[in-house]
Chains A and B, each alone.
Chain A
Amino acid sequence: MAEADADIIVRLDGVEKHFGAVHALDGVDFAVRAGECVGLVGHNGAGKSTLMHVLAGTLAPDKGGIAIGGAAQSGYTVTLAQALGIRCVFQELSLCPNLTVAENARINHASLKGIGWRRRAGDLILAKLDEIFPGHGIGPADVVRDLPIGKRQMVEVARAFTVTIDPLRLVILDEPTSSLDAQTAGQLLAFVRRVVADGASCILISHLLGEVLENSNRIVVMRDGKVIAADKAAAFDRDKLVTAMGAAGKPVRVATERTAERDSTTPIRIRARPERQADGAELVAHEGEIVGLAGLSGHGQTELLLAIFNGAARRTDRIEVTASVALVAGDRQADGIFSLWSIGENIGIRSIAQLRKGMLISPASEDEFAASWQKKINIRTPDIRNNILSLSGGNQQKALFARALGSDARIVLMDDPMRGVDIGTKREVYELIRQEARGGRTFLWYTTETDELEHCDHVYVFRNGRIVADLRRDELTEEKVIQSSFQATG
């Protein structure tokens, strides 16, 4: 056991992390040895991101232990992680756009100072760029802002591998090839294999299953905050991974009483084509339909919803919307909640025009409106006039639903609104959505949870900003969704 421990760069034991009711990490045991590349795969909400943040020191686990190089850590922080040799390349770039490539390298290495620092920083990053991406065409004096996103990604990755004082033991790469073209992606992965062969370690998170299969020594599959499968890479193939990530072959429960009565006279409410769609496929939604948008998060679903939201006001050649729209935000902090207002005010904002008596908003109407929705959607609060932040996350989300559903909009767009919401709340809202749809409202539902797609009449799967699959209710299975979400080859 002892020699095996010394070999282990990082070990997580029984790590848990909760965000309110959500178990982002639900007791995870995870270890990486020296000289190995661990592939980490999983569908939305599996917990990969959270795991990465815990390893990098940006998030502290609620329970469980972290050991680096055999030494247990308490009070583990980013600075400590870096000193111990753990580097991270996150998906959101952490370069300063106004600085040059060399200057950005300097930012990460405090020892690069004094006379000639610029030359040394430039040489350092250039050498690493040459090593990883031969023929890259990036100069150390290039300003990051002026580089295309692919080159920025290259700089970010190269910088993570530069070494001055702190050692390089483990590099976590989160979707590192997402902005790279095929050739550069290949260069990066070849480099990773070399580095790993020389004794460093790497965690590779990617939705490109082929990439993971080809470049990892071991693969770990996560789902719902737990590790459900971990084995040598050779033990897996695409199908096995897909099966493991999904609900182990269980079919999507088809809710029985949902029938979309649709004939040739049902009006079309929305026609929308994503910006990057080359093949003319488009999203079509009829009145009374619940249309799902699926696929991995961040693959263009929100962009299309926002385009449709704007399209209600102004028609473009890509988007056609024939009725009023309301939107239920998923990121409620950024897009939904007015934190200084009461629950009632938050619910009523979309409908204030209807809550007037004469010129002024009538407090009585407002209270009545809010109270009726509190009952309808079951918001648990002693007083609708309390501040919105007094509600639990799930109930805040319900308030956002009430805002949209209580308005006069005939189309409701939902931007992954159930993220982090407890199952009880979800069930209550699903029923309401079905009810409203029967009443003639159209719903566009972007969700990262494949279970929710069972409520949809029709599902469009997105990948890389395009619609790649169009599944009717009767042909919908979780496996098909996952398959379309992940690319066949790296």
Chain B
Amino acid sequence: MSVLRALIAKPWIWSFVGALAVWLAAIIFTGGSGAGGMLTAALSLAVFMVIVGIGQMFVITLGPGNVDLSLPANIGLASAVAMKVMDGNDSMVAVGLLAALAMGMAIGAANYLLIWALRIPPIIATLSASFIIQSIDISYGRGLQIKPPPGFADFTNVQILGVPILAILTVVFTIAAAIALQRTIYGRSVTAVGQNIRAAWLAGVPVGRIRFLTYMLSGTLGGLNGALLAGYFRGANVDIGNEYLLASIAVVVIGGTSVAGGKANVPGVWGAALFLVLLLTMLNTFGVSAGVRLLVTGLVIVGVITAAGGQKALR
């Protein structure tokens, strides 16, 4: 009984409960068929949400007002860069990945430069940057059929006993991120800054440097995501990242990370990603149209943030 109680007390449990509920609803509707396949597909798609979700989680944990809206454009550009560098050549896979990561890192650095030098709120800085990145992507990836190297594409689709290999790797990555958050100086500094930026500064935390690193991290993960998406969907395109704007914020919020900063919930990102993907899958199973999908996603976000509430007024 106390095990159950301890389990319920864990903040991330609810997103998993939600995911389970949705999966069950979908299975009931299909009469049990395809349950396993649904899970595998959900895991595959959730991976991409988790990767950028973790980056976004670190940014949001920095404190109110911090968010990275440049992710979709970042992902689109990174997918193009990765594919162009790899050039259909399996031996260039590593180089291509590195190029995408470097691109993402540069975008993150550029974002922070705008925030720091021009003192614009991160929302505006990353939003403006995203438009510029989009243009770069459109002109860079113009016309060419960018297909991934066959080995790379296959790798991203490999499954072991029905579990995608990318999912396994991402779970490992998630564990690493959780450890980093809790047990490294960097991670502690992020949560300190998010709780009270002034107290953090007075306690000796290098606030500027921490923010810089965090935006770079988010950018880098966006780059990684772009490359992997191009491999998985066997092709790069400008819009490949569009759904990840809301998705990256949604998995953070639904997963239990505080929007006010200072409290991150790493396992929750997975639970929320599964929940969202299964929700969309369920809606598809019900034969629901694109419009309803968008509507439901939006309402779920508004519902969750309303239920969670904002920072308690300090007055």
Task: Tell me the A residues contacting B by CB distance below 8 Å.
Answer: 309, 326-327, 329, 333-341, 345, 349-350, 352-353, 356, 359-361, 363, 403, 407
Q: Which residue of B lies closest to A361 (CB)?
A: B183
Residues of B within 8 A of A363 (CB): 183
Residues of A within 8 A of B182 (CB): 361
Bound: A359/B185 CA distance, A: 9
B196→A337 contact, CB < 8 A? yes
A337→B183 contact, CB < 8 A? no
A309→B205 contact, CB < 8 A? no
Please report which residues of chain B, range 172-214, place their CB below 8 angstroms from some CB of chain A when the two chains form the complex: 179, 182-185, 188, 191-192, 195-196, 198-200, 202-205
Q: Which of A326, A333, A337, A340 has the most CB of B within 10 A?
A: A340
B202→A352 contact, CB < 8 A? no
Interface band, chain B: 20 to 34
Known contacts A352-B188, A359-B184, A360-B183; is A338 also within 8 Å of B204 by CB?
Answer: no
A338→B183 contact, CB < 8 A? no
B263 at the interface (CB under 8 A from A): yes
A360→B179 contact, CB < 8 A? yes
Please report which residues of chain B, range 211-243, place their CB below 8 angstroms from some CB of chain A when the two chains form the complex: none
B256 at the interface (CB under 8 A from A): no
Residues of B within 8 A of A338 (CB): 191-192, 195-196, 199-200, 262
B196→A350 contact, CB < 8 A? no
A349→B188 contact, CB < 8 A? yes
B195→A403 contact, CB < 8 A? no
B202→A327 contact, CB < 8 A? yes
Bound: A407/B203 CA distance, A: 10
Bound: A360/B202 CA distance, A: 23
Bound: A471/B90 CA distance, A: 78
Query: Can you name 10 A-B pairs with beta carbons within 8 Å?
Result: A327-B202, A336-B203, A338-B191, A338-B195, A338-B199, A338-B262, A340-B262, A349-B188, A349-B204, A361-B184
Residues of B within 8 A of A335 (CB): 196, 198-199, 202
B202→A340 contact, CB < 8 A? no
Residues of A within 8 A of B203 (CB): 327, 336, 349-350, 403
A361→B204 contact, CB < 8 A? no
Residues of B within 8 A of A337 (CB): 196, 199
**Least Cβ distance of B136 to chain A in Å?**
36
Q: Which residue of A lies closest to B258 (CB)?
A: A340
Residues of B within 8 A of A309 (CB): 202
**Least Cβ distance of B200 to chain A in Å?**
8
Bound: A336/B188 CA distance, A: 15
Residues of A within 8 A of B183 (CB): 360-361, 363
Known contacts A338-B195, A340-B195, A340-B262; is A361 also within 8 Å of B202 by CB?
Answer: no
Q: Which residue of A lies closest to B185 (CB)?
A: A352
Q: Which residue of B lies closest to A407 (CB)?
A: B204
Bound: A403/B185 CA distance, A: 16
Total A-B residue contacts, Cβ distance less than 8 Å: 58
**Least Cβ distance of A364 to chain B in Å?**
12
A349→B184 contact, CB < 8 A? no
Bound: A329/B200 CA distance, A: 11
Bound: A14/B191 CA distance, A: 46
**Least Cβ distance of A400 to chain B in Å?**
9
Q: Which residue of B lies closest to A332 (CB)?
A: B199
**Least Cβ distance of B171 to chain A in Å?**
19
Please report which residues of chain B, range 228-282, place their CB below 8 angstroms from some CB of chain A when the two chains form the complex: 262-263
**Least Cβ distance of B235 to chain A in Å?**
39
Minimum-distance CB pairs A-B, first 6? A360-B183, A338-B195, A361-B183, A327-B202, A349-B203, A350-B203
Q: Which residue of B lies closest to A357 (CB)?
A: B183
A336→B199 contact, CB < 8 A? yes
**Least Cβ distance of B43 to chain A in Å?**
29
Q: Which residue of B lies closest to A327 (CB)?
A: B202
**Least Cβ distance of B113 to chain A in Å?**
21
Q: Which of B179, B198, B200, B204 contacts A334 (CB 8 A)?
A: B198
B198→A349 contact, CB < 8 A? no
Bound: A178/B283 CA distance, A: 66
Q: Which of B179, B191, B192, B199 contacts A329 (CB 8 A)?
A: B199
Bound: A356/B184 CA distance, A: 8
Residues of B within 8 A of A352 (CB): 185, 188
Q: Which residue of B lies closest to A326 (CB)?
A: B204
Bound: A352/B198 CA distance, A: 18
Apart from A336-B202, A360-B184, A361-B182: 16 A-B pairs, beta carbons within 8 A: A326-B204, A329-B202, A333-B314, A335-B196, A335-B198, A338-B191, A338-B262, A339-B196, A340-B191, A340-B195, A341-B195, A349-B192, A349-B204, A361-B183, A361-B188, A403-B203
**Least Cβ distance of A459 to chain B in Å?**
24
Bound: A334/B188 CA distance, A: 19
**Least Cβ distance of A43 to chain B in Å?**
27
Residues of A within 8 A of B314 (CB): 333
Q: Which residue of B lies closest to A334 (CB)?
A: B198
B204→A350 contact, CB < 8 A? yes
Residues of B within 8 A of A403 (CB): 203
Bound: A111/B223 CA distance, A: 59
Residues of B within 8 A of A327 (CB): 202-203
Bound: A333/B195 CA distance, A: 11
Q: Which residue of B lies closest to A329 (CB)?
A: B202
Q: Which residue of A lies closest to B194 (CB)?
A: A340
**Least Cβ distance of B199 to chain A in Å?**
5
Residues of B within 8 A of A329 (CB): 199, 202
Q: Which residue of B lies closest to A348 (CB)?
A: B188
Bound: A350/B189 CA distance, A: 10
Q: Which residue of B lies closest to A306 (CB)?
A: B202
Bound: A329/B188 CA distance, A: 20
Residues of A within 8 A of B185 (CB): 352-353, 356, 361
Bound: A339/B192 CA distance, A: 10
Bound: A345/B196 CA distance, A: 14
Bound: A390/B314 CA distance, A: 18
Q: Which of A360, A363, A403, A407 has the most CB of B within 10 A?
A: A360
Bound: A327/B191 CA distance, A: 20
Q: Which residue of A lies closest to B182 (CB)?
A: A361
Bound: A321/B196 CA distance, A: 26
Q: Which residue of B lies closest to A337 (CB)?
A: B199
Bound: A350/B263 CA distance, A: 19
Bound: A74/B183 CA distance, A: 53
Q: Which residue of B lies closest to A403 (CB)?
A: B203
Bound: A334/B196 CA distance, A: 8
Q: Which of A326, A352, A356 has the most CB of B within 10 A?
A: A352
Bound: A326/B202 CA distance, A: 8
